[in-house]
Structure 1
Amino acid sequence: MTFEPARLGQSRSDLAEALRSLRKRAGRTQTWLARRCSMSQTKVSNIESGKLTPAVVDVELILEALGVDDPAAAQILDLVRTANTEWQDHWSSRRRGLDKKQNELGRLEAVATEFRFFLLSAITGLLATPDYVRASIADVPGDQSKTIAKKLERPSVLYDSSKSFTFLLMEQAVRWPLLPPLAMAVQLDRLASVSRIPNVRLGVIPLAGRIPEMPLNTFRVYDRRLATVETGTGALILRDHRDVNAYREDFERYESYAVFGDECRELLNEWSVLFTRQRE
């Protein structure tokens, strides 16, 4: 399947039209199809009207019920995978206002219960000090006071005991000098503090020894429903269960190289001291 960002928004309507056409050609009603797939008729209607993006498993059930064989089935499954992928470019996000993005993240954090963050080159807002938050968006023009305020509100979710968080930070993410040395030392102390929250696991992958992996992107996985992957110009939002599971598996491999608990805090303290000495 060729990846074309411009097609992502159109794929849902293409998928809806294709599934509707297949059902009609088969001479079946929505009620019949819903019964065969153990769905409600309303769900089938919403899929065929483009109001609802179906999961891959939903489409697989529909194709099986309608007796659709390759290569038509393969083309439909390509469409559903694209329909479950969203592209959010940085420029559009900035035009809408970064505070809107914070609202979206807040809603996602409210409904998800299991969070996995792989941080390749920077510290996420949930772990950041106010100075780090401000520095992370310093290149964005205009008044960002609303965005900063919302970013500083979001870490309260870490104290919700019904949720679990695992953060994996590469050493370069922790030590990248985004701030002056003393402020960086404070940021590292913040990481050590968060690592003591009972429902938070915070690990660091040190750049020592052999790591036979080559991570390319920062990514986050929310439950089994969603993965987000950051690039230099935007982010991919992936809902296909195969994509989400692939990133969960990647996360588990990277997790095996991380240090946690006291060993992690010892490293953070060592690096914090180095930043403090730079100021002397």
Structure 2
Amino acid sequence: MTLEPESLGQSRSDLAEALRRERKRAGHTQTWLAKRCNMSQTKISNIEGGKLTPTIVDVELILEALQAGGKLVPEILALARTANTEWQDDWSSLRRGLDKKQNELARLENVTREFRYFLPTMITSLLATPEYIRASVSRNSGDMSKTVAKKVERQRVLLDDSKRFTFLLTEQAVRWPLVKPVAMGMQLDHLASVSRIPTVRLGVIPLGLTPIAETPLNVFTCYDRRLVTVETATGALVLRDHRDVNAYREDFDRYEQYALFDDACRALLSEWAEIFTRQRP
């Protein structure tokens, strides 16, 4: 199935209709189906009404209970996979206000316990100095001061003892000169400081030390086993299918093998910071 961003909302209603139609074809009530799937009748009703997007596992359980077969099963599962994918384009975020996007991220961070950030291109705002953050949003029109303030405010989540963060940054991401050399030196010193926070595990993948068989394509973040966000040049995909989440977690585990952590990481950051600070403004 080809994924078109504008089709995502339609896929949810198509999935709801397909599941409702299949239940009626099998001659069963919502109450019967709920008992067979160990779900509440309210959940089945919300799924069939399009108010709740079922997970892939939910759909598999429903189809098995209804003894669905033939070409119908892969078609409905394809709808479920698309329905569990969300496209967030940058233009919509700009229209609503980037500060509101920061509020959404803060809510997601509030309910997440384990975070995995793979950063092959630049430093995420959770690890950034205010000057670096301002530079990262400078291409957007309008007053970005509120957005910068929200991004800085979100950094407090790193001090929450109930959460665990792992950040993997490539050397390119760390050394990309987004701000002036002195500011870059300060940014790298900040990374070293953040790496000492007990809830944070920060690793850098240096270039040239060893062959790396993996080929990174995108920035991505894993939120528990709940979802993954994958960033592109014009927006982000939000993936909730457990197969997608597991695939990105496995990718993260492979990249992690190439990273340096703790004192070895801080030694590299200090060396690169010194290179920046020796440069002229």
Q: What's the TM-score, normalizing by structure 1?
A: 0.99
One-letter amino acid of the counterpart of residue 143, structure 1 = D
Question: C-alpha separation between the residues in 2 aligned to 1:85 and 1:180?
Answer: 38
Aligned partner of 1:121 in structure 2 is 121
Question: C-alpha separation between the residues in 2 aligned to 1:85 and 1:70?
Answer: 25
Give the superposition deviation at 1:279: 2.4
Residues 158-202 of structure 1: CA distance to partner in whole angstroms, max 9, x if unpaired? 000100000000100000000000000000001000100111100
Aligned partner of 1:279 in structure 2 is 280
One-letter amino acid of the counterpart of residue 147, structure 1 = T
SS in 1 for 2:87: strand
Instruction: Compare 241-250 and 4-13 and name the one that shifted more.
Output: 4-13
Consecutive unaligned residues of structure 2, counting only runs of 5 or more, are: none
SS in 2 for 1:244: helix
Question: C-alpha separation between the residues in 1 aligned to 2:81 and 2:201?
Answer: 32
Question: C-alpha separation between the residues in 1 aligned to 2:3 and 2:159?
Answer: 39
Aligned partner of 1:28 in structure 2 is 28
Q: Does 1:237 align with 2:238?
A: yes
Question: C-alpha separation between the residues in 2 aligned to 1:71 and 1:120?
Answer: 40
Alignment of 1:48-59 (within 5 A): 48-59=48-59
Aligned partner of 2:150 in structure 1 is 150
Aligned partner of 2:264 in structure 1 is 263
SS in 1 for 2:279: helix
Alignment of 1:159-238 (within 5 A): 159-208=159-208, 209-238=210-239
Give the superposition deviation at 1:122: 0.7
Question: C-alpha separation between the residues in 1 aligned to 2:223 and 2:21?
Answer: 34
Q: What's the TM-score, normalizing by structure 2?
A: 0.98
Residues 102-125 of structure 1: CA distance to partner in whole angstroms, max 9, x if unpaired? 011000000000000000101001
**Alignment coverage as a number of residue pairs:** 280
Residues 205-246 of structure 1: CA distance to partner in whole angstroms, max 9, x if unpaired? 001121111100000000000100011111000000000000
Q: State the Cα RMSD in Å.
A: 0.8
Question: C-alpha separation between the residues in 2 aligned to 1:24 and 1:151?
Answer: 49
What percent of counterpart residues are identical? 72
